[in-house]
Structure 1
Amino acid sequence: MKISARNQFAGTVTAVHPGAVNATIKVDIGHGNTVTSSITNEALDDLGLAPGDAVTVIVKASDVMIGK
C-alpha cells in the first residue's frame, strides 16, 4: 500500500487500552520514544492489534506544534 504521508516510524505495540468508543495504542518507536494513538474500537478489532505487534506509525497533520 502506498500512502502520501512521509512521517512514518516503525515500532512495536507496547499497550492497548480499549475504551467505550475509542482505544489508546502505545507504540515504542525506539531510542526511548513512545507514540500514543487514539483509534476507534472498530479499527482496533479490524487491525487485531496486540502488544508485541510490529506496526508502522503514520503521522499526517496540517499543524505540528512544538513546545519548550
Structure 2
Amino acid sequence: MEISARNSIKGTVKKIVHGSVNTEIILEVASGVELVSIITKSSAENLGLVEGKQAYAVIKSSDVMLAVE
C-alpha cells in the first residue's frame, strides 16, 4: 500500500454498524484504544470489511482540535 497521507494506523475491525447509506466502523488500534470512521455502505462492502479483519485508519487533516473542561 502506498499513500500520500502521513498518518496511517493499523488496527483490527472491532465492530461494524450498517445504516441504510453509511456504515460506522470501529477500529481497535491498541488494547482499549479505538478509532471510529463513518464511510459509505458501498465502500465498506467494496473493502470487504468484517469484524476481525485488519485495516488501516488513514488520517489526513490540516487541523486537529483539542478541548478541555
TM-score band w.r.t. shorter chain: over 0.9
SS of 1:34 mapped into structure 2: strand
Shift of 1:25: 0.1
Give aligned-pair identity as a percent: 38
Q: Residues of 2 paired with 1:9 and 1:38: CA distance?
A: 16
- Deviation by residue 1:2-58 (Cα, 9 ceiling, x = unmatched): 111111111000001110110000000004210000000010110110100011111
- What residue is the counterpart of 2:62 in the other structure? 62
Q: CA RMSD in A?
A: 1.0
For residue 8 of structure 1, what is the aligned residue in structure 2?
Answer: 8
Aligned match of 2:24: 24
Q: CA deviation at 1:67?
A: 1.4
4+ residue runs over 4 A deviation: none
TM-score normalized by the length of structure 1: 0.92
Number of aligned positions between the proteins: 68
Q: Unaligned regions of 5+ residues in structure 1, if any?
A: none
Partners in 2 of 1:44 and 1:33 — Cα distance?
A: 21
